[in-house]
Structure 1
Amino acid sequence: MQRQTTILGIESSCDESAAAIYTGDRGLVAHALHSQVALHADYGGVVPELASRDHIRKLTPLIERVLDDAGRPELSGIAYTRGPGLVGALLVGASIAAGLGMSRNLPVLGVHHMEGHLLSPLLEPDGPQFPFVALLVSGGHTLLVQVDGVGRYRVLGQSLDDAVGEAFDKSAKMLGLGYPGGPALAALAQQGRADAHAFPRPMLKRPGLDFSFSGLKTAVMLAIKAAPATAAARADIAASFEQAVVDTLVAKCRRALKQTGVSRLVVAGGVGANRSLRRALDDSATADGFSLHFPRAEFCTDNAAMIALVGYLRRDDMRAGIASADATPRWSLDTLAPPLTAAP
């Protein structure tokens, strides 16, 4: 009987430490995550040195936990996040993966973090078929990508300045909200009026699929300076900002689907958990007749389940006896190639 392929995934690109086990027959069998939100809260953002040190403390216990939860399976290989991300944080995960690979004589694969997000909806039982258009919206990235298969990606549009998650966080900071700012701003927006301010919908009047959120962020700053210092005024600004972002993202998604002729849309990344964005895309999918796919909320943010999945899909690309940790903090999605053997 052929031994089942079992992959250990390790994620440490920024401020979440995570481990997961993915098998060919059962899919995702175990995953665990530790968030560093409390660690960085006093600083209003991620402190790279603190993030790296916390990964050192947390990753090994998380790996032991998922191995226990999965029943101590015989591993076939190890996948870790090679990039993009914070170089120190990436090196922690890469070093642990390299050490485990050498000590257990297992092949190791460095995974592109964005590829993990793009393919994360495949973790779901009703995951999309290829091809699909993916909107990848996170703290550091805003991309529209045509996904024709594993490793077959074409970037259709991207942010020319701040990522949408950065725009959320910076606007939240201007409103005096805590860290992380995105969820705090979304919560405040529920109390405000989305039509209170006529904020710009950036680049919608131009052709193409690129994004820009710096002008919207400036409009928020000016509105805060002009508004009375009341809770209601702050809530109105938050709601109007969120609505401007949602309108922009939905319009660009509809444009991308029309341009490509693809009828499936995937939304991934941390901002993909935003409820207003999900509702608006649901309405658009019903009106326009395209299918809409999200990973579950716990897999929208950084996680190891998506890294283990990519490791499984690219298992024939794994290198045996990796001798050194490999991290690539800046890594273009366009450089990825299809796996050596076509994924099932």
Structure 2
Amino acid sequence: MSLSEGLILGIETSCDETAAAVVAGGIHVRSSVVASQERVHAAFGGVVPEIASRKHTEALTGVVEAALREAEIGWSDLSGIGVTNGPGLIGSLLVGVSAAKAYHAATGLPLVGINHLHAHVAANFAHICGDPLTCDALPAICLVVSGGHSDIVFLRRPGDYEVLAATVDDAAGEAFDKAARVLGLGYPGGPAIARAAEAGNPAAYALPRPRVGESLDFSFSGLKTALIRQLQQIQGLPLSEQPGEPTGQMQADLAASFQSAVVETLVRNTMQAVTAAGVSDLAIAGGVAANRLLRERLAEECAAASIAFHRPPPDLCTDNAVMIAIAAARRLDNGAPDNLNLDVYSAMPR
């Protein structure tokens, strides 16, 4: 039996979610446990790295034990361990990698470090619901969109990815967070804007759909500035004066207009990449891939173009350890395991 056909433990601590999961056969989810720090960081309007590290330290052992209990297995039933080792917050990553090394040393189980972005792509292979991506569907395009990344990736085969386009400044998730602060909607920004937008008119304000020359790259920093300018204009303020937080219908309309601008930009570039690559399948991944409007618009565009559209359930779009275990299963079969020299990286080649 190959390693990927066995049971793999995944560990994820790259930012503010402490997660562990067990996956069987590289695709079947046996357990998934996530301890969120969202409420802790909401008071600060964003993730505080030192607090995130401390919370991971407090939660990780219990989360791993809960994942094993949920899967109804013990350490002797496992075939390997995968852990995120970058990109991410260094302190948070160190907690997960240090624990994974300890488990490796104590059990002798093979250990592999996993690229967080590659893992998000791998979530599409999970056989949990919907229409999972399969090797037969490759090559394909995948939009990886999160708080730190907005990438269009060409998938040749599992683990073999080429980044065709990326953000040149703010990622979509970061833009949502910044816009939510401007609008007085709190943290995390993406879900907050989506909730406010439900009562708003996306055509109320004409915000730009940014382009980066003739490329498929993304740029969202100017969109946040356009939102501030729009608010200043509404409130009759000069460019030098910070606008006040909007309320009521104005807030809802601005949220809906901003969300529409981000989503339409992502959809436009992604569908252009699908056409240019000549593929028949599109997948999405990352925290922003849980956005309902983005999922609906891509589904519409794919249906019109006869493109198969694959999207993980929302809980596998945000940070989780299922995706780590799936990616680890493939790495364990295709390369040499890592060892106690495994290091962490805040940024790493994709």
TM score, norm. by length of structure 2: 0.91
The answer for the alignment partner of 1:48 in structure 2 is: 49
The RMSD of aligned alpha carbons is: 1.7
Equivalent runs, 1:1-344 vs 2, <5 Å? 5-24=6-25, 27-73=28-74, 74-124=77-127, 126-128=131-133, 129-203=137-211, 206-228=213-235, 229-316=246-333, 317-319=335-337, 322-333=339-350
**Are the structure 2 counterparts of residues 26 and 269 from structure 1 closer, same or farther at C-alpha, using a change threshold of 3 Å?**
closer
The answer to which of 157-166 and 69-78 deviates more is 69-78
Aligned residue pairs total: 331
Runs of 4+ in 1 over 4 A off after TM superposition: 1-4
Q: Deviations over 1:55-85 (max 9, x none)?
A: 0111110110111111224111110001000
Alignment-mate amino acid for residue 320 of structure 2: N
Shift in Å at residue 280 of structure 1? Answer: 1.0
**Are the structure 2 counterparts of residues 230 and 127 from structure 1 closer, same or farther at C-alpha, using a change threshold of 3 Å?**
closer
Gaps of 5+ in 1: 334-344
Task: State the secondary structure of the residue aligned to 1:43.
Answer: coil
Q: Is the 8 A contact 1:95 1:324 kept in 2?
A: no
Gaps of 5+ in 2: 236-245
Q: Deviations over 1:141-175 (max 9, x none)?
A: 00000001122111110110000000001000000
TM score, norm. by length of structure 1: 0.92
Q: Is the 8 A contact 1:134 1:144 kept in 2?
A: yes
Q: Distance in 1 between matches of 2:221 and 2:39?
A: 28
Task: State the secondary structure of the residue aligned to 1:197.
Answer: coil
Q: Is the 8 A contact 2:141 2:273 kept in 1?
A: yes
Identity %: 45
The answer to which of 241-250 and 137-146 deviates more is 241-250
Q: Distance in 1 between matches of 2:26 and 2:217?
A: 39
Alignment-mate amino acid for residue 107 of structure 1: P
Q: Deviations over 1:84-134 (max 9, x none)?
A: 000000000000000000011111100000001111110036322211100
Shift in Å at residue 325 of structure 1? Answer: 4.9
Task: State the secondary structure of the residue aligned to 2:323.
Answer: helix
Q: Distance in 1 between matches of 2:203 and 2:26?
A: 50
The answer to which of 63-72 and 301-310 deviates more is 63-72
Alignment-mate amino acid for residue 5 of structure 1: G
Alignment-mate amino acid for residue 182 of structure 1: G
Q: Distance in 2 between matches of 1:138 and 1:105?
A: 34
Task: State the secondary structure of the residue aligned to 2:215.
Answer: coil
Q: Is the 8 A contact 1:19 1:32 kept in 2?
A: yes
Q: Is the 8 A contact 1:227 1:233 kept in 2?
A: no
Task: State the secondary structure of the residue aligned to 2:207.
Answer: coil
Q: Distance in 1 between matches of 2:17 and 2:73?
A: 24
Q: Is the 8 A contact 2:22 2:71 kept in 1?
A: yes
Q: Distance in 2 between matches of 1:33 and 1:22?
A: 15
Alignment-mate amino acid for residue 37 of structure 1: E
